[in-house]
Amino acid sequence: MNFKEIKKYWDDRASTDSTAQSTTQDVYLREIECNVLSERINKYKPRSVADMGCGDGRTTIKLSQKYLSSLFSGYDYSSHMISNANDLISTMSIHNLKFEQQDVCEKLTQYFDLIYTTRCLINLPSWDLQRDAIKNIHKALNKNGLYLMIENFIDGHENFNQVRKDFGLPEIGMRDHNNFFNRKELLDFISGYFSVVEEVNISSTYYLVSRVIYSKICSEKNLNIDYFNDHHRYAAGLPFSGEFGPVRLICLKKL
Ligand X SMILES: C[S@@+](CC[C@H](N)C(=O)[O-])C[C@H]1O[C@@H](n2cnc3c(N)ncnc32)[C@H](O)[C@@H]1O
Biggest CA-to-CA distance, the chain? 55
Q: Between 62 and 216, whose beta carbon lies closer to ligand X?
A: 62
Helix (H, G, I), strand (E, B) or coil at 210: helix
For residue 74, give the nearest of 43, 98, 95 by alpha carbon: 98
SS3 content of the chain, % helix, strand, coil (to 5): 45, 20, 35
Burial class of residue 106 (count of CB atoms within 10 Å of its CB; 0-12, 13-18, 19+): exposed
CB of 7 to ligand X, least distance (A): 7
Q: How far apart are CA 237 and CA 72, in angstroms?
A: 26
Chain centre to alpha carbon of residue 37? 10
Q: Between 9 and 193, whose beta carbon lies closer to ligand X?
A: 9
- Binding-site ranges for ligand X (CB under 6 A): 10, 23-24, 30, 53-55, 58-59, 76-78, 81, 103-105, 118-120, 123-124
Cα–Cα distances (Å) from 134 to 19, 93, 112, 161, 226, in that order, read 29, 33, 14, 28, 34
CB of 10 to ligand X, least distance (A): 3
Q: Between 13 and 164, whose beta carbon lies closer to ligand X?
A: 13
Integer-rounded Cα radius of gyration of the chain = 18
Please name every residue paired with 88 in a beta bridge, in sequence order, or none if there are none. Answer: none
Q: Between 6 and 208, whose beta carbon lies closer to ligand X?
A: 6
Q: Between 92 and 223, whose beta carbon lies closer to ligand X?
A: 92
Q: Between 51 and 113, whose beta carbon lies closer to ligand X?
A: 51
How does strand 194-201 pair with strand 112-118?
A: unpaired
Residues 6+ apart with CB under 8 A from 152: 119, 122, 178, 180, 181, 246, 247
Chain centre to alpha carbon of residue 200? 14
Q: Between 24 and 65, whose beta carbon lies closer to ligand X?
A: 24
